[in-house]
């Protein structure tokens, strides 16, 4: 069962508990929301006002270490090596820095995570390898 939360433009929030996923899907398509296969457009004007200095001041020390580590290796760094560089005992913790921290803060400062860093997945002899690479705008961060 799912929990559906709808926010009306006037700020009123409606919550429906114990609803099946099929019912949620039916409601979404009945209310005139996006149809399958359509794309949501974003306002790119907010990206013109990118605040790299403000973003740098708002992120955690581990996030700063993440960008500094990426800056040292322009061709990219494997996830397990990056985790060790950040003194993590588990490579999954890098996801907390990138997804939980950086990805949530970046839009508030007019930034896109894809422009700050890239996560590339490859396979070598059947093993999944994740490599983090600097994005095109990472050099605009005050890496200090």
CATH at 77: 1.10.10
**Owning domain of residue 77:** 45-140
Question: Which of these, 73, 86, 65, 84, lies nearest to 120 by C-alpha position?
Answer: 73
Total number of domains constituting the chain: 2
Q: Is 132 in the same domain as 73?
A: yes
Q: What is the pLDDT of residues 74-107, one digit of tens each?
A: 999 999 999 999 999 999 999 999 988 899 999 9
How many other C-beta atoms can be found within 10 angstroms of the C-beta atom of residue 104?
Answer: 10
Same domain, 36 and 52: no
Asked if 55 and 107 sit in the same domain, the reply is yes
Mean pLDDT of 104-118: 93
pLDDT at 48: 56
Residues 54 and 33 in one domain: no
Which among 84, 96, 83, 86 is positioned nearest to 65, based on CA atoms?
86
Whether residues 95 and 30 fall in one domain:
no
Closest CA to 130 of 107, 102, 103, 98: 98
Token couple for 72:
């040292």
From 68, 72, 91, 71, select the one nearest 81 (Cα to Cα): 91
Query: Are 30 and 50 within one domain?
Result: no
On whether both 91 and 58 belong to a single domain, the answer is yes
**Confidence band, pLDDT 50/70/90 cuts, at residue 9:** confident
Q: Is there a single domain that holds both residue 26 and residue 67?
A: no
| Six token digits for residue 23 | 């019912």
């Amino acid at each position: 069962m799912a929990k559906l939360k709808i926010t009306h433009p006037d700020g009123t929030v409606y919550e429906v508990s114990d609803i099946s996923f099929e019912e949620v899907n039916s409601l979404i398509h009945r209310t005139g929301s996006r149809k399958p296969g359509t794309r949501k457009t974003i306002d790119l004007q907010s990206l013109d006002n990118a605040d790299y200095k403000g973003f740098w001041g708002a992120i955690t020390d581990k996030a700063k270490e993440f960008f500094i580590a990426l800056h040292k290796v322009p061709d990219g760094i494997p996830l397990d090596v990056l985790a060790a560089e950040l003194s993590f005992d588990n490579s999954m913790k890098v996801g907390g820095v990138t997804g939980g921290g950086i990805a949530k803060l970046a839009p508030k400062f007019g930034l896109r995570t894809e422009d700050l860093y890239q996560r590339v997945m490859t396979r070598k002899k059947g093993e999944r390898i994740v490599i983090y690479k600097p994005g095109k705008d990472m050099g605009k961060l005050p890496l200090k």
